[in-house]
A and B are shown apart, each in its own frame.
Chain A
Amino acid sequence: MHAHLFIPCLVEDCQPEAAEAVVEVLESLGVEARHPAGQTCCGQLAYKTGDAKNARLLALRYLEIFAAPGPVVCPSGSCVKMVRTYPELFAPGTPDHQRAVDLAARTFEFCEFVAGLPGADTLNAQLQVRACYHGSCQMPPGQSGGVDAPRRLLSSVRGLTLLEADRDDRCCGFGGIFSLQFSAVSQALVEDKCREIMVLEPEILVSAEPSCLMNISGHLARLGKGIPALHVAQVLAASLKKETPAWRRK
């Protein structure tokens, strides 16, 4: 089995370790990871500023990049949400709309994809750590209202203490362009979030949404309370290995 990697811009250049971890976890489950060239931005920024024209142009690029059949896997809930919105950008009945519907149906958030793989329940994962999980509001919901994929995966790691803050699914205040246009409100929200996380005294912060990780860990760093901020894939990859993970050696 193979999967195409859809690596968000933020991960490609600011959190490449998360993408490497995605590859490691997929390969450990027997999935060959392919990384189609030419990836830049899926169009989320344009779409969320109301710029449907540019969102459509960027969507067309991604329809090309991921034209080959097979599942597309992405370590970001919000980018997956964008691809699942692609069909809205094209007139129903057109070939582009059909391609958008097809791509949306085979694009998966990393945790969602991994949790659905046959070997996911029997992963021999072990990691002694107190991890605070931030359940991003951008993540796909759990199936029929059940526990969602990232929580299921993290719970399966032996030794991992899964901590969830008060109002764990509350927005961290990032919201892309919102954080610039409404910077005071955004800051107030990230302050709330960090306060609620820090009372748990976690060793690491974990999320499956890179933009939330950037926002929350950026504020924790400014408070002088920085802790490793990791994608779920990084935690899983570390828990599958014997050696001490890089973020712990520092």
Chain B
Amino acid sequence: MVNPHFVEVNIPSDPVFERVVRAIAAEVGEALCFTDERVDDLKLAVSEAVNNAIEHGNKNISSKPVEVVFALDNDKLEVRITDQGEGLGSNQRVDVWDRVRVVEEDNLEQGLLRSFGMSLIKALVDDLEVNSSQKGTIIVLRLYRKGQTE
């Protein structure tokens, strides 16, 4: 595989279709001969990014599509997830990069049971880029192949 190969899909902003993207991610990971664990990591990272795009980017407006592009080359898999939202505010940008979210007793008491997605993505992929503007947010996940295939 010398030149990049692309798999592209556009889904409505409905969580049902996240499962479709997840299934594609699994097939792509297997096609790249990723280990089973690496495929599981890929599926979860893509799931979180797509759900963020659906819920926080496109606000669950099903007519707004989420675009997902898998770019495969010799060295890596790059997954680009694009929503059509209004972008991240400055507080959210800090949150995306700095917060490491784990289950904490205080949060349980207050009923704060969500927001683990970005922490998981950061832990599961090799590289993460977030580019946001008033036209939407693009999240790029990169998983390198070296030492991660079977």
| Interaction A to B | no
Chain A residues within 8 Å of B, Cβ to Cβ:
none
Chain B residues within 8 Å of A, Cβ to Cβ:
none
